[in-house]
């Protein structure tokens, strides 16, 4: 079903600065917040996004089994504690649940390791080449005045033609 409602107007944004790291862009917003600037009018935009995987190390069968056993043990402990709360006259349910969780975690980890066939562990992250700090046009002059008093480290800032 189509409606003829116009899309709400978003305020025009102005680039305050471009930074090589997200942390530097966040520090800029932090400086504005410390000086009482209405930061709800500020946006951090990452450009030229790419997927980056940080390789943590080899993912051997032994590592997979240890990880599976620990995870299964924690899940078993949680289930065992629930059983202990529901039936407090049977405290042996906790160690049995932990043991069963470890065994099931070992089996699950072994099957997943053989099925996946990946020989390394990695953590994916989306990163940007540049982070622009934008502000609504009507607040740009105030933000520039604040940043002129306490700028972010120049090595992290990329000048942007305004």
Q: What is the pLDDT of residue 115?
A: 86
Q: Which residues of the chain have pLDDT under 70?
A: 1-10, 151-162
Q: What is the pLDDT of residue 76?
A: 95
Gap between the Cα atoms of 160 and 132, Å rounded: 9
Q: What is the pLDDT of residue 162?
A: 41
Q: What is the pLDDT of residue 161?
A: 45
Q: pLDDT per residue over 46-87, tens digit each? A: 999 999 999 988 888 898 999 999 999 999 999 999 999 998
Q: What domains appear along the chain, each with residue ranges and CATH number?
A: 13-53+128-158 (3.30.70.790), 60-117 (no CATH)
119 closest CA partner among 62, 73, 76: 62
Q: Give me the sign of the Cα torsion angle 84, 89, 91, 93.
A: negative
- Would you state the structure tokens that stand for residue 80, as one six-digit string? 């065992």
Q: How far is CA 96 from each of CA 39, 43, 124, rounded to the nearest angstrom?
A: 53, 52, 36
What count of Cα atoms within 13 Å lies in the side-chain half-sphere of residue 50?
A: 7
Largest CA distance in the chain: 73
Q: Where are the alpha helices (DSSP H) in the chain?
A: 22-34, 61-86, 93-116, 140-149
3-state secondary structure of 5: coil
Q: What is the pLDDT of residue 4?
A: 63
What pTM was computed for the model? Answer: 0.57
Q: What is the pLDDT of residue 102?
A: 96
């Amino acid at each position: 079903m189509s409606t003829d409602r116009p899309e709400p107007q978003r305020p025009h944004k102005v680039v305050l600065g471009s930074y090589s790291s997200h942390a530097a862009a966040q520090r800029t917003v932090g400086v504005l917040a410390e000086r009482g600037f209405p930061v709800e009018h500020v946006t951090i935009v990452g450009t030229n996004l790419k997927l980056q995987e940080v390789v943590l190390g080899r993912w051997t069968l032994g590592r997979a089994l240890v990880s599976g056993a620990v995870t299964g043990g924690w899940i078993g402990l949680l289930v065992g504690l629930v059983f202990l709360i529901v039936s407090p006259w049977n405290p042996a349910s906790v160690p049995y649940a932990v043991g069963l969780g470890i065994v099931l975690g070992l089996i699950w980890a072994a099957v997943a390791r053989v099925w996946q066939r990946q020989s390394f562990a990695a953590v994916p992250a989306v990163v940007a080449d540049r982070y622009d700090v934008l502000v609504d046009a009507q607040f740009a002059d105030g933000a520039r005045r604040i940043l002129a008093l306490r700028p972010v480290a120049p090595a992290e800032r990329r000048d942007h033609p305004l």
